[in-house]
Amino acid sequence: MPLSMSSNGNDLTGKVVAQRYIYRMSSTKSSTTTPYTIEERQYYKVAEDRSLDSFGERCFILRGSENANDGIEPPEESMKKNGMPRIYTKLGPALHCVKDLKEDEDDMDGLGGTVWESSYAMALYCMAHPEFIKGKGLEVGCGVGVGGILSIIGAGLASGSTEEEASNAYQSIEDIANTPVQSENDDEQLMAPVPKQLSKIIMTDSHQNILKVCMDNLQSSAFPVSKAEISMLDWKQRIVPNEMRDAFDFIIGCDCAYYFPLVNPLARTVAYTLKSSPYDRSDNQQVVRGNFLHIGPAHRESIGDLKTKLSRGFRMETRMKEIVLERVDLAPLILDSLDVEAEQMKVEIEVEGGYVEYQNIENSQYTALSGHHNEDYDGFNGDYFFPAENGKEGSYRDNGSELDFGTETA
């Protein structure tokens, strides 16, 4: 449906309109909460007929707690021209801006090439649990990468990481070779804040064209070169690459189990690639070395099937949590140009948040499925240990243990 600006007697031709949304976890309805929020912006230019033509790519502003500065007074009550009162919500300070992230317009199935709200739920969950993002990670079904990028950067902010100058972020000769050369007049490039405990995230998908867009988005987000890798992985194939077995400290996936036939291959890939979590007899406790996280819409019954497959088919310890995501539709921001907004945003990142007018709030429910290996799995005996592989799945029942990741790590 074409967008247009309502006539109000003002000539808006040529101006820029920023459509804005705030995504946050419900503080009262969600089992997991975080003070951080994500603002999404998409830009439009007002044509002579007052229609809005989209241009440019989306940007995302990661924001801190709305209570960072409680001294800000709310605006005085006022009315719109239609007689309805203006309503406001409080925003936290802008911590970091991720610019120019795009979708794959040529994606035929409209799944991996599109950014779904599940991506924002995963990012906010990682900001609530930044300790999850450490070591070597794998993202399955990364699509164009927006979910993974926001999750890693968000976890970095939540764990206290800051932007780094590119010269300080290099870790190898390959990094230097792959970083664009800047002229003496350019400002020093700042790398996005990622968790210091992250060694690398390998973002995977089965579609080459989507991975190319993911690579572009990594570059646009100024993701540290040494901290990310793009790779083809079709987890619907039975063969799991040997170099990926028992290799990852964490695995993330966003709405990958969207119908039942994908459940078994996804569970099998996770089981074989996630690091084992052996029992340490000297400390008399399990050492959780690898954690899995999947986020998807609560109405998707296949997420429950995935939990069952992981628990009964691969003997993993699993749990599910409900996330209630709020989307706040902010009033459009009208600008003379994007240059004006760039200056505004530069100032905004240096100050605390404030109140902004909004138009509507919608809630949606998501499920966070997390898990780690049984203490008796050694990382090599899967063909004999996993009931799904040895034909004993029908007789196996999980023990009901439901441990949060991060609670018994070493």
List, for residues 387-409, the tens digit of each pLDDT value: 999 888 876 665 544 444 343 33
81-88, Cβ contacts within 8 angstroms, sequence gap of 24 or more: 81/8, 86/357, 87/357, 87/358, 87/359, 88/355, 88/356, 88/357, 88/358
Tokens 């009315």, located at residue: 79
Average pLDDT over residues 361-381: 95
Q: Residue 2's pLDDT is what?
A: 35
C-alpha–C-alpha distance, residues 161 and 295, integer Å: 24
> What does CATH list as the number for 16-395?
3.40.50.150
Task: Give 110-119 pLDDT, tens digit per residue.
Answer: 555 678 899 9
Token code pair at residue 392: 């004993």
Mean pLDDT calculated for residue range 122-135: 97
- pLDDT tens-digit map of 45-61: 888 888 888 877 889 99
By percentage, how much of the chain surpasses pLDDT 70?
81
CA–CA distances in Å: residue 261 to residues 239, 267, 305: 16, 11, 10
pLDDT over 90 percentage in the chain: 55
Can you list the alpha helix ranges (DSSP code H) found in 98-231?
118-128, 146-158, 166-169, 173-177, 208-220
- Please tell me the predicted confidence (pLDDT) of residue 107: 52
- For the stretch 142-161, pLDDT in tens is 999 999 999 999 999 999 99
Q: Return the structure tokens found at 256.
A: 């990958």
Q: Average pLDDT for residues 226-251, to the nearest whole number? A: 92
Residue 366 pairs in a beta bridge with 297, 323
Asked if pLDDT for residue 294 goes beyond 90, the answer is yes
* Whole-angstrom distance, CA of residue 132 vs CA of residue 195: 10
- Residue 123 CA from chain centroid, whole number: 3
Helical pair 146-158 and 208-220, crossing angle rounded to 10 deg: 30
Tell me the residue type at 162: T
**pLDDT for the residue 82:** 79
Burial class, 258, CB count within 10 angstroms (exposed 0-12 / middle 13-18 / buried 19+)? middle
Q: How many CA atoms lie within 13 A of 7 on its CB side?
A: 3
Residue 21 near residue 327 (C-beta atoms within 8 A): yes
Alpha helices in 178-227 (DSSP H): 208-220
Q: How many helices and strands in the chain, by DSSP H and E?
A: 11, 18
Averaged pLDDT, 67-71: 71
What angle in degrees, to the nearest 10, is found between the helix axes of 301-308 and 263-273?
A: 40
Mean pLDDT for all residues in the chain: 84
Q: What letters, b where the CB count within 10 A reaches 16 and e where it falls short, cover 360-397?
A: eeeebebbbbbbbbbbebebeebeebbbbbeeebeeee
- 163-167, 244-248, 363-367: which has the minimum mean pLDDT? 163-167
For residue 47, what pLDDT is reported?
84
Measured distance CA(195)–CA(162) in Å, rounded: 9
Q: Mark residue 110 as left, alpha or beta (left: phi above 0; alpha: psi -120 to 50; beta: remaining).
A: left
pTM higher than 0.75: yes
Amino acid making up residue 342: A
> pLDDT higher for 395 or 308?
308
pLDDT at 4: 41
Question: What sections of 186-289 are H helices per DSSP?
Answer: 208-220, 263-273
The helix or strand, by DSSP H or E, that contains position 304, with its residue range, turns out to be: helix 301-308
Residue 174 has pLDDT above 60, yes or no: no
DSSP label at 90? E
CA separation (Å) from 250 to 267, 284, 398? 14, 23, 22
Average pLDDT over residues 233-248: 90
Q: pLDDT for 181-195, tens place per residue?
A: 443 444 456 899 999
* Residue bearing the bigger pLDDT, 107 or 240: 240
Token digits of residue 329: 């539709």
**The pLDDT of residue 83:** 75
